[in-house]
Structure 1
Amino acid sequence: MAPTDPLSSRPAPVRGVAAEGEGTAAGRRPDRSESFGEALLGKILDSAHELPPHLIGPLVADVVDQLGGRRPQVLLQDYGQLVLVPLPGEGLTGGGPQLIDDSEAGRCFLDAVPVEVPQEDGVRVHLPLLDGGDQVGVMAVTLDSVDDDDRRLLLRISGLVADLLVTKHGYSDLFFDVRRDEGMSVAAEIQWSLLPPLAMIMPRVAVAGVLEPAYDVGGDSFDYALNGDVLHVVMIDAMGHGLDAATMATVAIGAYRHARRAGIGLSEIYAFMDRAVAEQFGPEQFVTAQMLQLDTTTGRVQWVNAGHPPPILVRDHRVAQRLVAPTTLPVGLGGSEPQVSELGLVPGDRVLCFTDGVVEEHKSGGEEFGEHQLIDCVNHLERTGRGIRAVTRSLSHTLKRARGGQTSDDATLLMVEWRG
């Protein structure tokens, strides 16, 4: 009897299978026939190479239909990280944005786990669209019922869809337009084009960052790279705001990447960035910066501070200390060789870096927000036990609400977790 796929009553096609009893166990060729599940995944893979970005939606709809599903949706996170917005496309279900903090799709997004919701006509399944730990969005589909075979296939399909969205992102403005909830300044356009993914979750280390104001950020930026066992991180804050600050941030990040890729140490990276900014913008302009290197095998973190607020160490879900260390002048002002500080992390430790806009912004009523308020917010959110992406995002939004929803300066957060 031909093998039957668990998701379909149709016999799976059989090709290249040796007849029963033919040959020996060692000499028999393996079954290379295509199962129903492989055919679905193959449809995505076979189409991916030359698929125009605007046809990702119809491809998803077609695959979901073959699986017996209906009402497929691909939901993308907006730049402000407040809502999930449906991707348009033939065969995809539309609708309005869904609040990340108040929807099943949002719960799937924040916790990066599938969420199943029983409904009158079946089960609505929400799946995280993950690429290297970065949460691209959520895929949703309704099935009559869900078993383990469905779950396995849907997770694999959502993984391929996430990869498609990431790889096609650079070819089109479609995804930019979907994710924009309001107009974006030219400075913000530049800064977002510089950024790596907002999150990276790996077995030994995780990173998550947030930029505010998302649609008008000027001089704040960050960058990271996982090279072998070493995580490299930088956070910068270029003086001023608007296009001039964004231009200076571009030079600073470009100089950092160039120096990092040359394999030099933290002190030398600072010197290279310092020269690049000074030569381009003159002696009156500067960029505060903080560069870190984390050995993900040992948990040893080293950092250099160039006029930046000291980072905060979170241990056992509480702020353990401010990582106060010797600093040098901001990048561009010709400071002395910076001192490299070191600290040994324990598994689960988180290091929070932030720009001065986070603590110098004034709360409603005129009082400066301050580091004590920041620490209280971190302690409160850490007690939830949620992942680094959810905590960083919630922290940014909590701080913004405490400021009355206003941000007169860039307020950027970047959290690193050593998972051990």
Structure 2
Amino acid sequence: MCADADRRAWRKEVAGQVMAEESVDRSEGFGERLLGLLLDRARVMPPQLIAPLVAEEVARIGGRDVSILLQDYAQEVLVPLPGSKLHVGQPQPVADSPAGQAFLSADVVETAQADGGVRMYLPLLDGSDQVGVMSLTLDTVGDDDRRLLRRLAGLVGDMLVTKNAYTDQFFQARRQEPMSVSAEIQWSLLPPLTMTVPQVEVAGILEPAYRVAGDSFDYALNDSILHAAVIDAMGHGLDAAAMATIAIGAYRHARRVFVSLAEKYAYMDDAISQQFGPDHFATAQLMHLNITTGELELVNAGHPAPLLIRDGRVVQQLESATTLPVGFGGEEPRIRQHMLQPGDRVLCYTDGIIEEHLTGGELFGEERLIRCVNRLGQEPSQGVRADLRKLSHTLKEERGGRTSDDATLFMIEWHGGAADHLAALD
């Protein structure tokens, strides 16, 4: 009897293990089929059919009222993408909404609904750059749902970015007011506004979003070196946009043929002077950051000095010997080296931030900028992207809502360490 009881207990234990394993396998298998369907069709999927297919897939797990929300160019609201089978509501404010919280934190937000369901807001990420938010409602939410929907949101984010090159529909949804031709050029020139890897994060923002002309920035992470540049071309309108385009093009060309920081400056200087003549120029900041050691090389060609922020406060301006703006021809740039500490932030900005005239004619100035940075630094950090966005909007409010000249902010946060573990399978 005792042996029979032991055998029954053993069979019951084994059966329980098998059921548990089958449950996990079934969940993973279902998710794989669901994501695989989307992936298999992605190559030939017309842009306007992405959202309806996503809504159909969400319905298979009991989801409803699916919305795809994209950030507007001014980073003020998340606007719904129109489309068949999608729930199209009102734009959601980035600053004060569950969708905005998911967007800024790059994490899932769940809110209980009056009918007992759960509204989920999942960030749509292209790499680490926030594209927007996918929202949907489920009756109940379990860990399997969360895992599957995170993966689905990641795939949808990548598809939206890929298909964006084939259509104007996503651009039109994001645009909340008319955009100038020069701004169209600059937005098509920009890299992703945010990049995050374990060793370093970067973020940038342009004002006025719909009329920017001569300001731009660019970056690339090549092995252990972060290459970054901030450009401010003289003038306004198409002339400034064309000059910024030439400057960024020359910078990228120099970066991709593996030349030094000084040679990058020379490439840009030569391109501007040959194309526009001696009366045109662009100010620039060029940087190399070794993301392993924290060593920063800086060429400052006519820009305001970047600010070094440590523990939420500006501790110094990263001064460097004066170098002429690019376009004046032939000067050897002066390179300054700085050592960063883990957690340090470097804030670059163009003169449109500090040279805005306040009521009464007074300039906004560097001191006010530093006070704003220090004040916001006392608040808990939400990450580089969210913090920079808040700084930009705060500065605009401090300037009375005016931006008469292009005003660009670009921030680097250095952490150090390594990322090799990400290439190892568990």
Give TM-score scaled by structure 1 length: 0.92
Q: In the alignment, is residue 402 of structure 1 matched against residue 398 of structure 2? A: yes
User: Is the partner of 2:361 in helix, strand or coil?
Assistant: coil
- Equivalent residue for 1:415? 411
RMSD after superposition: 1.6
**Given the alignment, which residue of 225, 228, 250 partners 2:223?**
228
- Equivalent residue for 1:164? 159
Q: In the alignment, is residue 252 of structure 1 matched against residue 247 of structure 2? A: yes
Q: How does 1:93-108 map to 2 (within 5 A)?
A: 93-108=87-102
**Pairwise CA distance, 1:364:** 3.5
- Equivalent residue for 1:87? 81
User: Is the partner of 1:328 in helix, strand or coil?
Assistant: coil
Instruction: Read off the aligned partner of 2:101 and give its amino acid letter.
Output: R
**Pairwise CA distance, 1:392:** 0.7
User: Is the partner of 2:112 in helix, strand or coil?
Assistant: strand
Q: Quick check: 1:329–1:335 contact (8 Å CA) kept in 2?
A: no
- Equivalent residue for 1:45? 39
Structure 1 residues 309-318 or 380-389, which shifts more? Answer: 380-389
Distance in 1 separating the partners of 2:279 and 2:26:
71
Distance in 2 separating the partners of 1:350 and 1:339:
22
User: Is the partner of 2:209 in helix, strand or coil?
Assistant: coil
Number of aligned residue pairs: give it: 397
Structure 1 residues 283-292 or 333-342, which shifts more? Answer: 333-342
**Given the alignment, which residue of 363, 367, 371 partners 1:372?**
367
Instruction: Read off the aligned partner of 2:409 and give its amino acid letter.
Output: L
**Pairwise CA distance, 1:335:** 5.0
Distance in 2 separating the partners of 1:293 and 1:205:
13
- Equivalent residue for 2:421? none
**Given the alignment, which residue of 182, 186, 196 partners 2:177?**
182
Instruction: Read off the aligned partner of 1:40 and give its amino acid letter.
Output: L
**Pairwise CA distance, 1:102:** 1.4
User: Is the partner of 1:81 in helix, strand or coil?
Assistant: coil
Distance in 2 separating the partners of 1:131 and 1:315:
29
User: Is the partner of 1:102 in helix, strand or coil?
Assistant: coil
**Pairwise CA distance, 1:186:** 0.4
- Equivalent residue for 2:291? 296
Q: How does 1:10-409 map to 2 (within 5 A)?
A: 35-121=29-115, 122-334=117-329, 336-384=331-379, 385-409=381-405
Q: Deviations over 1:66-120 (max 9, x none)?
A: 0110111110000000000001111110011111111110011111111100012
Q: Quick check: 2:119–2:138 contact (8 Å CA) kept in 1?
A: yes
Instruction: Read off the aligned partner of 2:398 and give its amino acid letter.
Output: A
Distance in 2 separating the partners of 1:66 and 1:408:
51
User: Is the partner of 2:95 in helix, strand or coil?
Assistant: helix
Q: Quick check: 2:298–2:320 contact (8 Å CA) kept in 1?
A: no
**Pairwise CA distance, 1:43:** 1.5
Q: Deviations over 1:233-269 (max 9, x none)?
A: 0001000010000000000000000011110111111
Distance in 2 separating the partners of 1:287 and 1:135:
30
Structure with the higher helix share, 1 or 2: 2
Distance in 2 separating the partners of 1:362 and 1:36:
60
**Pairwise CA distance, 1:276:** 0.5
Q: Quick check: 2:94–2:101 contact (8 Å CA) kept in 1?
A: yes
Pair 1:364–1:97, CA change in 2 (3 A): farther
**Pairwise CA distance, 1:169:** 0.9
Distance in 2 separating the partners of 1:6 and 1:217:
54
Instruction: Read off the aligned partner of 1:267 and give its amino acid letter.
Output: A
- Equivalent residue for 1:31? none
Distance in 1 separating the partners of 2:411 and 2:344:
10
User: Is the partner of 1:171 in helix, strand or coil?
Assistant: coil
**Pairwise CA distance, 1:380:** 1.7
Q: Deviations over 1:310-350 (max 9, x none)?
A: 10001111111111110211000125211111111111111
Q: Deviations over 1:137-156 (max 9, x none)?
A: 01111111111111111111
User: Is the partner of 1:130 in helix, strand or coil?
Assistant: strand
Distance in 1 separating the partners of 2:358 and 2:58:
48
- Equivalent residue for 2:424? none
Distance in 2 separating the partners of 1:392 and 1:402:
15
- Equivalent residue for 1:19? none
Distance in 2 separating the partners of 1:369 and 1:254:
32
**Pairwise CA distance, 1:368:** 1.0
Structure 1 residues 372-381 or 282-291, which shifts more? Answer: 372-381
Give TM-score scaled by structure 2 length: 0.91
Instruction: Read off the aligned partner of 1:56 and give its amino acid letter.
Output: I
